[in-house]
Structure 1
Amino acid sequence: MDECCAVVDLRQYTLHPGQRDTLIDVFDEYFVEGQEATGMHIVGQFRDLDDPDRFVWIRGFADLPSRADALAAFYGGPVWREHSATANATMIDSDNALLLKPLELRDGYPRLDSPRPPIGTTDIPGSLIAGAVYHRGAPDDGFVEFFTDHVVPALVASGAEPVAVFETLVAENNFPALPVRDEVVLVWFARFDDEAAYDEHRRRLAASPTWQQKVLPELVCRSGKPAQELRLRPTARSQFK
């Protein structure tokens, strides 16, 4: 388990057309260290490969009280005050956020001391972070056990071993200025060296009788709506890459 973060925000922003690089430039230059100075861990920030106007990022907190304190310090502080107008001008919607807790974090998921490229780095990694958001019925629905016992083995067999698995943290949002979605989910992420490796994973899943005939139908039955599949390209300064 991450020595930092028992609480995680997964945030997905819908941006005005053509504005994603502007937001990433501001984020990577000012908001990574600006937020971490208040006690957060900026785990990763990404371009969504299936939506040119979506920016996705993950940040962690030691616990819920630390989350409230860190968010208040950052959004009431000088870094946000100086650069918020530029960031906000890129956004149509910033309320697509999930409050999560880690179920499993493996090697490959960034720790506090994981390397991060310095400010000014422009080289975008060729790797992919991919995964899914599953929409569940209730916290006690048995979904975690089903995922662990049946979904994970099928993913591993297809070359997509999850390095991070989260579920909804059922708790009151203690920083209501930033809304979070009121639903129960399970989220997983895996790392791929490149798009070809990801495509091979999808090909193997499609060809797997176990996945197609057993796991996927049960997954659909247990889900409240279709899963959100994510294919994410790390930014130049993302730790998770």
Structure 2
Amino acid sequence: MDHDEGDQMTELFELRQYTLHPGRRDELVALFDNEFVESQAEAGMRVYGQFRDLDDQDRFVWIRGFPDASRRAGSLAAFYERHPAWLEHREAANATMVDSDDVLLLTAVTGDLDAARASPPALAGGDGAAGLEIVICHPEDPDAFPEFFRRDLLPALAEAGAPPLASFRSSGHRNDYPRLPVREGEQVFVWLSRSPAPAGLLPAGVRPPQRLRLAPTPRSWLR
């Protein structure tokens, strides 16, 4: 999908999955929570949430947003090339990582992460943390799937007790900051919910959906 000028004014999201060295995730979580939340906001980005993967103790997942696609490259340069927080702590952060290139560029289809943040569920955990699920699908017809999702799948998920907080599709925006690679050449549809989707509702697509069961870190904005 090629992007056009209209994409430049659309909010852009990154879904980032990091593979870490064994036993290093808590180290990265503490560093990220303490040093990389406000500092990215100062560079013009919002960290919507950062999570431990409940099924892979060496995976760290986070979501970052940009007010519009045209500001992505400048914001990333401001953070990774000039911000004191990254320049001071980048070696420690990078030392925890095996791979940080599993990144999807997404644009919103339904829902609102700000609204999701404003209406958290009733929580019983010791630190007030609830789990979330992210589903990543590879639809056979990426252009038709958003309408199918709105019309059929969204109400079915709600009826099953797993209403999505927000959904996204692959953005047509090119990676204009190649220093940070992204997954290219594939079209995905992604949704995030606080309850797991029934397996029977997951679309088959061109390959099986990826399901991420996640626990927010102590300072995750999205819970």
TM-score bracket, normalised by the shorter chain, equals 0.7 to 0.9
Structure 2 CA distance for aligned equivalents of residues 73 and 61 of structure 1: 13
Q: Which position in structure 1 is the counterpart of 2:23?
A: 18
Aligned position for 2:94: 88
CA contact (8 A) 2:10 2:69 kept: no
Cα deviation, 1:1-60, whole Å, max 9, x if unaligned, reads xxx971000000000111100001100000001111011011000001011100000010
Q: Is the 8 A contact 2:166 2:192 kept in 1?
A: yes
SS in 1 for 2:62: strand
> Which SS does the other structure have where 1:76 is aligned?
helix
Give 2:61's aligned amino acid. Answer: V
Tell me by how many angstroms 1:137 deviates. Answer: 4.2
1:209 corresponding residue in structure 2: none
Alpha-carbon distance in structure 1 between the residues aligned to 2:60 and 2:219 = 14
Q: CA deviation at 1:103?
A: 1.0
Report percent identity of matched pairs.
48
Is the 2:139–2:206 contact (alpha carbons within 8 Å) kept by the matching residues of 1?
Answer: yes
Q: Which residue of 2 aligns with 1:74?
A: 79
Question: What is the Cα deviation at residue 145 of structure 1?
Answer: 1.6
Q: Which residue of 2 aligns with 1:52?
A: 57
Letter in 2 for 1:228: Q
2:126 corresponds to 1:131: no
Matched, 1:36 2:41: yes
Distance 1:234 1:99 in 2: 21
Match of 1:158 among 157, 160, 165: 160
In 1: Cα distance, 2:169 partner to 2:131 partner: 22
In 2, the alpha carbon distance for the partners of 1:152 and 1:105 equals: 11
Partner amino acid, structure 1, of 2:95? A
Match of 1:118 in 2: none
Q: Is 1:110 equivalent to 2:117 in the alignment?
A: yes
**Cα distance, 1:98 vs structure 2:** 0.3
- The 3-state SS of whatever aligns with 1:36 is helix
C-alpha contact (below 8 Å) 1:14/1:54 kept by paired residues: yes
Report the alpha carbon displacement of residue 188 of structure 1 after superposing the two structures with TM: 0.3
1:113-162 Cα shifts (integer Å, max 9, x gaps): x99xxxxxxx743301113000134542x111222222222211111111
CA contact (8 A) 1:137 1:184 kept: no
* Moved beyond 6 Å, runs of 4+: none
CA distance in 2, matches of 1:18, 1:108: 34
Task: Please name the residue that 1:186 is paired with.
Answer: 189
Q: Structure 2 CA distance, aligned partners of 1:99 and 1:26?
A: 24
Q: Deviations over 1:185-225 (max 9, x none)?
A: 11000124xxxxx5xxx6xx36xxxxx4xx55xx21xx111
From 11, 20, 43, the counterpart of 1:6: 11
Structure 1 unaligned segments of length 5 or more: list them.
116-122, 193-197, 207-211
1-structure distance, mates of 2:187, 2:12 = 15
For 1:68 and 1:138, the matched residues in 2 are separated by: 30
SS of alignment partner, residue 110 of structure 1? helix
Letter aligned with residue 133 of structure 1:
I
Unaligned runs of 5+ in 2: 1-8, 121-125
Q: What letter is aligned with 2:48?
A: V
Whether 1:235 aligns to 2:208 is no
Q: Match of 1:163, SS?
A: strand
Distance (Å, rounded) in 1 between the aligned partners of 2:140 and 2:99: 25
What letter matches 1:8 in structure 2?
F
Q: 1:230–1:26: structure 2 CA closer, same or farther, 3 Å change rule? A: same
